[in-house]
Amino acid sequence: MRRLVEFHLDDESSETVVVEVDEPVEEGTGEEKAAFGSWRKKPVQASETLDQALDRVTPAAQALLLKLRGLVEPPDEMTVAFGIKLTATAGAVLASAGVEANYTVTMMWKREGAAGG
């Protein structure tokens, strides 16, 4: 079910961001299953700040970058993209395709002396 979740940016800020999330509602929680699309309904409060939620995925990104930088012949350019899914209760998690984490890695090596630079 899609719903709106409000995250405070961090512990010291009163600023918030509202995010659309797609997550199941647990039976017996008292939450109503309302159709998404009405901004008149108050968003669900996230259980942690956006800053705290993103702190959970930072170690995975750092580990991947360290491994790729440690290649015998590291690339001249590297792009790593991965999806982050926000939930009201779990915070930020790596978005997945099936049961695996979804990473896209692009690496480029530039040959010295190649035509055009």
Question: Has residue 79 been placed in a domain?
Answer: yes
Domain-located, residue 24:
yes
49 domain-assigned: yes
- Residue 117 belongs to some domain of the structure: no
Structure confidence at residue 58 (pLDDT): 87
Q: Within a domain: residue 114?
A: no
Residue 110 CA, distance from chain mean position: 31
Compute the distance between CA of residue 55 and CA of residue 84 in angstroms, rounded to an integer: 12
**Total number of domains constituting the chain:** 1
**Is 33 inside a domain boundary?**
yes
Rounded Cα distance between 35 and 74, Å, is 49
pLDDT score of 47: 87
The terminus-to-terminus CA distance of the chain in angstroms comes to 52
Determine the residue type at 112. Answer: E
50 touches 7 (CB < 8 A): yes
Q: Is residue 113 part of a domain?
A: no
**pTM score:** 0.61
In a domain, 69, yes or no: yes
Q: What is the pLDDT of residue 72?
A: 92
Domain extent, residue 70, equals 2-108
> pLDDT tens track of the chain, all 117 residues?
777 888 889 888 889 888 887 766 566 555 555 554 545 568 888 888 889 988 888 888 889 889 988 999 888 999 888 888 888 787 777 776 555 567 788 999 998 755 554
**pLDDT for residue 22:** 74
Q: Which two tokens stand for residue 51?
A: 């800053």
